[in-house]
Each structure stands twice: as C-alpha cells, then as structure tokens.
Amino acid sequence: MTGMPVIESMRDMSRRGVSNAEIQRRTGVSQPTIRKYLAMKDFSPEMPRVTRRTSILDPYKPFVDAILTEDEHVWHKQRHTAARIYERLLCETDYDGAYGTVKNYVRRRKIEMGRPEACFLELVWSPGEAQADFGDVDIVLLGEEVRAHFFVLSFPFSNMGFAQVYLGETSECVCQGLVDVFGHVGGVPIRIVLDNATGAGRRMGRRVTEAELFSRAHARYGFGVTFANPNAGHEKGNVERKVAWVRRHLLTPTPVIDDLARHDAELLCRCEEADGRRGHYERHVLQAGLFERDRAAPIALPATSFSCVRYATAVCDKRGDVTVDGGRRYHVSDGVAKWPAIVCYGATTISFADEGGTVVTETPRRFGHATNGPDSASQLRLPSVRPGGWRNSATRLAVPADVAAHMDALEASALCDLLSYMARWCQTSTLEEVGSAMSEVMDRTGRMRPHDVEMTLARMSGFGIGTAPDRGPDLSIYDRMLKGGVA
C-alpha cells in the first residue's frame, strides 16, 4: 500500500514538471498507480470497515446464541460461562475447534447483547422524610457474646440518624424502634422508606403486604410508607451509609451491655450528639442545624402511646410449657398444664396471660436458634414439690458442681425447702447469680443457710463480692466524749 508521504512526493514532482516515467524510476511505483493518485481529487480519510473471515465456529454460532439468549432469563449467578459453553459444544455437537475461538466469540456476543449500565437518578429529600433499615453487630450481653441487630432511622435532609439495639428483626422490633425514636425526636416523620427485608412488610412487584402490627402503628401515627424495591439499596442509600457509620463510630469496640433498655436510651442521646456536631457532606453546615428543620416538619405525636405487642394463642403442655416463636420453649406456670394461654410478643420480652388477660409470667424473649428446653430457672418450682426429679432436672445442670453435690445429699424435705428459696431468689436475680452466691456461702461457711445466701446476693448486686464493707462514719469522737474528753 502506498503511503501518504510517497503520494505527496509524486504529486509534488508532477507539479514541478517531472514526467511519469521519471517519477516511476525515482519512487518505484507503477505507472497506473501514479496516474491514479495524480488524478485523485479527495484525500479525506475513510471510515475503516471490518471484514470478518470465516471461522470454524460459524456453523455453531446459532447454538451459542441460543444459550446466551436463554441466560437473559436466568439468575445471574447461574448463567453459562464461556468454558461451560465450550464443554457443551464438545458434548452436544461435533465442534472440534479451540476454546479461545469460543471465548472470544462469547465475549463479543455478550457485549452486543448486553444492556447499558444503569444510570441512577439523584434523589432530593424534603425535611421530615426518613429511611429505616437494620444492621448487624456483635455485643456482649450479660457476659455472653451474641450477634445482635440494630434498627436505624435516618433523616436524609439533615443526614441525622438514630439507632436502637435489639436481638431480632421482627415487626415488634421495628415498631418499638420507631416509637422510641419518635419519642426522642418529638414528632413523626412525614414518610418513611423501608427495606423490603425488615419485619414491617414485603414488596413483590407492585404489591405490598404489611405486617399487621406495623399496619396498626402506621394507622396510629399517620406517617406515609414506601417499601424499596428488592435488591435496590440505592433507593435508601442514606440509611445504608448511616448503618455503617453507627456500627463504626457508636458500636465499636464491642459494646458490653448489662441492661439493654438503659443502653438504648443512652444510645439515642449519643446518636444526636455525635451526628449533630458533624458537618453536612454537601451543605457545609452542622447537621444539628439542619435537623431543626427535620424536627419542624414531622407530624405531631399522638396523645397516647402505642403498645408494640403482638398477640397469639398457645396451649401449655403437661409441664406447663409452651412452644412458640420458631420452636422456642418457655415455662408459663406449674399450675396451667393443658391450659390455653395468650402469648404477648414484645421486642425484648415475651409474656403469657390467662384467658382473662392476667399476665402469669414474663421473661426475656429469646431470638436466634431455638433451644431444646426452657430456661433452667423456670423449672425450679416443679422439683420443690417433686424432689425425685431433681437429679435429672435442667436446674441441676445449671448450678455449680459443689452446690449440686450438696443438694444431692439433702433429705427430700430439706431439698424442697432450698428449691423454694432458690425460686424466690430467682425472681430478682439470675440462676447463675444464685448459684454463685450459694457456692460462695458454702466455701466460706461450709453450710448452706438461706439468710447467708440472701446477704451474699445483696452484696454481689450492690458492691461485688470482693468489695470491702463500707466502714461508715468515724465514731471515735463519741468515744472521747463519753470518756470525758473534749470533742
């Protein structure tokens, strides 16, 4: 192919009167080519045209195209790779070409068949609008490390957010989180955008199904609700980022919690203080100032509070237990075997009432994997009237070994009395604390007297067992006065 420098040289020589034969001797270009370029009027560049050669894959391209077309309706994690298509070509056709030929064609066809990248619309949020979501966090609750969940309600206009920690993501937890944040903020958001995976409800296409308890809270407080599309985190990006911020700044390092209700009350104040002193990422003013406009926009709080409790019914078994909430067994009472009970599900507690509505028992609600049996402390009263079952009871396995051995050696009447005391102590202390106090008394005195255990429990809850008693005020001045001295 003759390059532009040679063409320009030939045209220049022709303009200077050099003959075509001389141009041929000087350039080595044939006379027809010289005449063509001397007569050419337009040297504008032409768009390149790709001409594809025939390929060994040509007869099998419809087979490959059919697979790629079917993949458009398949979950993206289960679509064919080029390697898998090559395997099918070898098994299902007589193709004997190379894998590279298939890989290059599949790559080009996926680009040709692919859709353009999604372009996200920048959303504008008005004061008083909110977004809600859950996040996961590890906490140490009463000495045990558990994977908990924290509910976050954020206000995109000001970028302020508030969090509450729970052990589950049920509709009770969602409603309780909303009610607690409403009370702290002093108003109800105009509209809340919720994740499709929360316990508030679920969106399937255009159809939205709300949980009954959330529907009642929705009607009570009057806020608008929008459920985000599944797998569309960009529709509530503010709360997604706020979940990560709360975890990093307010729940790191791992929180050690003894009273979850008190911790959550303090967490609301910490959220407002920490988030309020940050500068807004776009408006370059403090978020606390912008949040005042969020506070001015919401709906006023109703005069009466909303009870975030879901009710169901269950029948107690012969042990006075009920199995509810995904296979978890709770002890209701010793005298209600085979009786119906009203189950009251709360965000942190679960209680059981009789048919008249009188609460029989209330206990912390258990989330996570179901256990095989009820709380050991709830089984204390049965061995106290049936001491023969003591050795095989769940309570015996839960107390220290020295305490269990001491109780094994007791007569039936003494064992019944001690178990009755333990049941009474467990109303204000955990079974673990009771067992530790009993072990401490035995170690120090060699005996098991109830009043000693009660005093040890009081010391453990007030000051700690290793703390020296308070010496009180100095009374030596009165000794000197009684002896005739001068104060």
**What are the tens digits of pLDDT across the range 369-427?**
555 455 555 556 656 566 777 777 777 888 888 888 888 888 888 888 888 888 888 87
In percent, the amount of the chain with pLDDT more than 90 equals 36
For the chain, the farthest-separated pair of C-alpha atoms sits apart, in whole angstroms, at 148
Q: Quick one: pLDDT band at residue 480, thresholds 50, 70, 90?
A: confident
In terms of pLDDT, which residue wins out, 312 or 205?
A: 312
d(CA 189, CA 192): 7
* Collapsed DSSP state (helix, strand, coil) of residue 25: helix
Q: Where are the domains of the chain?
A: 4-39, 58-113, 129-296, 310-374, 378-462
The answer, as to whether pTM is greater than 0.75, is no
Out of 61-75, 152-166, 234-248, give the one with best mean pLDDT: 152-166
* Collapsed DSSP state (helix, strand, coil) of residue 380: coil
d(CA 224, CA 190): 6
What CATH class has 129-296? alpha beta
pLDDT at 383: 61
How confident is the model over 237-260, as a mean pLDDT?
91
The amino acid occupying position 317 is D
Characterize the bridge pairing of strands 191-194 and 129-141: parallel
Residue 395 sits at the vertex; the CA angle it makes with 389 and 396, to the nearest 5 degrees, is 70
Characterize the bridge pairing of strands 340-345 and 349-353: antiparallel
